[in-house]
Structure 1
Amino acid sequence: MTLTANTLFAALAHDIRLRCLMLLLRHGELCVCELTHATGAAQPHVSRHLAQLRELGLVADRREGLWVHYRIHPALPTWIQGVLRETAAGVSEQSPFSDDERALSTMTNRPATARCA
């Protein structure tokens, strides 16, 4: 699917999708469990929105055992990368984005350790 401005901004209009994208932009790659912990949303809810972002081509995923890791799709057009970067710069100090960062920083048992939370 080719991303248009309408589909991009529709994707960004949902709170969980936008929060996940901002976290992925800052951290590069995160497991679903990390995104769930950071946002405080239920895992099925986060997974459903990540699947929508994947279908649009905004994120790519990688499976590792039981875990699915997401990242911003590396082949995004330059204009979309710019929109995401500018958005992240503008909201990083605002709630809920700053709260998500704080919650993620306190998460124990992140995927790099023996077990994901």
Structure 2
Amino acid sequence: MVDKNAPVRFKMHVKKGDTVQIIAGKEKGKVGEVLKTFPKTSQVLVKGVNIKTKHVKPQQEGESGQITTMEGPIHSSNVMLYSSKQKVASRISYTFDSEGRKVRMLKKTGEILD
């Protein structure tokens, strides 16, 4: 019997440190680096994309409040891996290198990521 409350882990095509381009939404066309991935929800944090502002109340008396900005997560289906050398976004394929390791490769450019 399958536990309905058990976390579901999805295989994501992006990893922390990858350079990605946003392909959908209000931030479409922006390029940034993946700061963090959330495999349970298939979301990623991208540097400089989906900026949220948060109003923070003062903690102590006499202190003033602050407005902080931070990145919000976006769904991994809305990002595509980006080649900085060729300036093009591409899908990925999985291939094997000369030592027999499984690596990620950009389909358009043939660039090896791992």
- Structure 1 or 2: more strand by fraction: 2
Structure number with the bigger relative contact order (C-alpha 8 A, sep ≥ 6) is: 1
TM-score by length of 1: 0.23
Larger Rg: 2
